[in-house]
Amino acid sequence: MSAVSKYKGKAYLVGAGPGDPQLISLRGLELIRRAEVIIYDYLANPQLLKGASAQAELIYVGKKADRHTLKQEQITRLIVDKAKAGKQVVRLKGGDPFIFGRGAEEAEELADQGVDFEIVPGITSAISVPAYAGIPLTHRDYTSGVAFFTGHEGEGKESSGIDWDKIATGVGTLVFLMGVGNLEHNVSKLMKHGRDPETPVALIRWGSTPKQQTVVGCLKDIVAKAGQAGMKPPAITVVGEVVALREKLNWFEHKPLFGKGVVVTRTRTQASQLSTKLAELGAEVFEFPTIRIEAVDDYRQLDAALKRLADYDWLIFTSVNGVEYFLKRLKAKGLDIRELKGLKLCAIGPATAQALLDLHLRVDYVPPEYRAEAIISGLEQQGIKGQRVLIPRAQAAREILPEQLAGLGAKVEVVPTYKTVKAESNAKELKELFQQKRVQLVTFTSSSTVNNFVELLGQDNLPSLMDGVIIASIGPITAKTAEKHSLISQIMPPDYTIPALVAAIGEWFKKN
């Protein structure tokens, strides 16, 4: 390949890692964000594509054992053609491009065609998947040697690329990638060439993901056990005495939410905190935002209030969204936080208070219980009678706060600052998850998420779809809304915050 390519485009062969989206490299994430074209595999976690530009062309070329979207030659030609057309192309491959990933073949063709390319290594499943199953590939008390092999060697092949007579007893730990279909052939070869039939074996499917499934046996019985468990690709096979350490070191599959499917209904921009924390507990998270936060159509009321902020005594925020959109409008009108001088600030809970503290605004009152009723009680003790109160909030919200504050003698003004609208989630896909029994838990973080979730699935469909599904609501108001739709919340935290909700979910599943 010449030092300088004549084509403006460039191809990046990027390793996506074994399945856990957090195991991709920083360089890989950067390239996904910048890519104009992403050509991705069956084993590349689709969550990684969320970081792609909205303008990026996404092309699926996944290959399974029983069917291929495109042949390898067609995939290679696609990469070359897109790069020659001047595009920045990411070829996103499961694991590492150069460990049984055919990345070398793609790189060779790029070099032959004079197309500039870069290799971005990934964490291969050969080392990461055993680690997620609690199996160290080397251990000074067991073995200091490990070897990796493709599992596709078949009996119909005239000559094997594997020296069975040498590896059977010459290497302590053997790792076969993509070898489920040839499992019986591979273990029989090892035993035939001298490996002890009692040697421990582990078969690990969908390693490093919440779908991880592990079957442990020995050479003489692993085929039968794999059949009983219904093991299918993608899976790897680990052979060696180190497999015995899994009983002590199995950490991933012991997480409280391991194997549990959880639907998160928060807005897409706010879902990440909840989703990340649930995933850390081992859950398979499905994000289906049922609401979207937008600016109100008419800002005249808020604009009028901003002009006379000095007239108010209290400014009450009932959500993080209220803080965000209030400050956005303040800035849009050429003002800043100096306009809030002299105002007392009230936040409904710690997240809202933190949003204000992040702006270096001291909060004067946060109620011990994070809902409107507690604000009323607290402000009554602070002497709210005769005070002028501004509440920038959602366009549609409960009236209990302004009504009861007014009943205590406060002069209350409510100004619409943002609105909650129904998000366009894929109802068909969501229903299929419930029909396939892949969902064990649904989380609700507001009454809006409940109402729109019900509208998405259909009230009449709830009894069958939600049968056996656990409901987790962030607080009593949300739980009460769910109950109106015959959705009973089994989980509700003592504090109405996302961290408390996650903690309550984890504790519930530990006990149950």
Percent over 70 (pLDDT), the chain:
96
Q: Residue 431 catalytic?
A: no
| Distance from C-alpha of 87 to C-alpha of 59, rounded to nearest angstrom | 13
The token duo for 207 is 């390693």
Whether the per-residue pLDDT at 32 is higher than 90: the answer is: yes
Query: How does residue 424 score in pLDDT terms, banded at 50, 70 and 90?
Result: confident
Q: How confident is the model at residue 59 (pLDDT cuts 50, 70, 90)?
A: very high
Of 63, 255, 333, 419, catalytic: 63
- Separation of alpha carbons 126 and 100, rounded Å: 10
pLDDT digits (tens, 9 = 90+) for 318-346: 999 999 999 999 999 999 999 999 899 99
Residue 277: predicted pLDDT:
93
Helix (H) or strand (E) holding 369: none
DSSP per residue, 5-73: -SSS-EEEEEE-BSS-GGGS-HHHHHHHHH-SEEEE-TTS-GGGGGGS-TT-EEEE--B-SS-BSS-HH
C-alpha radius of gyration, the chain, whole number: 29
Give the list of residues 6+ apart from residue 378 with CB closer than 8 angstroms, or none. Answer: 365, 367, 368
pLDDT the model gives residue 198:
97
CB-based burial, 301-316: b 16+ in 10 Å, e otherwise: ebeebbeebeebebbb
The mean pLDDT of 370-375, rounded to a whole number, is 80
Query: How far, in Å, CA of 376 to CA of 318, rounded?
Result: 12
Q: What is the pLDDT of residues 33-49, one digit of tens each?
A: 999 999 999 888 988 99
Are the folds of 10-123 and 127-254 the same? Answer: no
| Choices 3.40.50.10090, 3.40.190.10, 3.40.50.720, 3.40.50.300: CATH for 261-290+423-511 | 3.40.50.10090
Per-residue pLDDT tens over the stretch 127-149: 999 999 999 999 999 998 999 99
pLDDT interval class at 289 (50, 70, 90): confident
Question: What topology does CATH give the domain 294-420?
Answer: Rossmann fold (3.40.50)
431-474: pLDDT as tens digits: 999 999 999 999 999 898 999 899 989 999 999 999 999 999 99
Is residue 178 part of the annotated active site? The answer reads yes
- Residue 154 confidence (pLDDT) above 50: no
Catalytic: 41?
Answer: yes
Strand pairing partners for 42? Answer: none
Whether pLDDT at 2 is above 70? no
DSSP reduced 3-state for 198: coil
For 10-123, which CATH superfamily applies? Tetrapyrrole methylase, N-terminal domain (3.40.1010.10)
Residue tagged active-site, from 41, 84, 260, 277? 41
Domain ranges of the chain: 10-123, 127-254, 261-290+423-511, 294-420
Residue 130, preceding bond cis, omega within 30 degrees?
no
239-268 pLDDT, tens per residue? 999 999 999 999 999 999 999 999 999 877
pLDDT tier for residue 227 given thresholds of 50, 70 and 90: very high
Please give the Cα distance from 498 to 504 (Å, whole number).
Answer: 10
Strand order in the sheet with 314-317: 291-295, 411-422, 388-394, 314-317, 344-347
pLDDT of residue 20: 93
Q: How confident is the model at residue 497 (pLDDT cuts 50, 70, 90)?
A: confident
Contact 318, 290 (CB under 8 A): no
* pLDDT of 62: 83
**Beta carbons within 8 Å of 409's beta carbon, 6+ residues apart:** 384, 385, 386
State the average pLDDT for the chain.
91
Average pLDDT over residues 92-117: 94
C-alpha closest to that of 176 among 218, 245, 130, 229: 130
Indicate the CATH number for domain 127-254: 3.30.950.10
User: Exactly one of 178, 231, 466, 492 is catalytic; which is it?
Assistant: 178
Of 249, 262, 211, the closest CA to residue 233 belongs to 211
Segment 403-415, tens digit of pLDDT: 989 999 999 999 9
pLDDT of residue 153: 55
pLDDT band, very low/low/confident/very high, at 50 (cuts 50, 70, 90): confident
The predicted model gives 207-213 an average pLDDT of 94
Amino acid at 25: S
pLDDT score recorded for residue 157: 54
Can you tell me the mean pLDDT for 168-197? Answer: 93
> What is the band of 1 on the pLDDT scale with cuts at 50, 70, 90?
very low
Question: Is the pLDDT score of 287 beyond 50?
Answer: yes
pTM above 0.85, yes or no: no
259: left (phi over 0), alpha (psi -120 to 50) or beta: left
Cα 188 to Cα 223: distance, rounded to the nearest angstrom: 10
The whole-number pLDDT of residue 90 equals 97
In this prediction, residue 422 carries a pLDDT of 79
Distance CA 130, CA 123 (A): 12
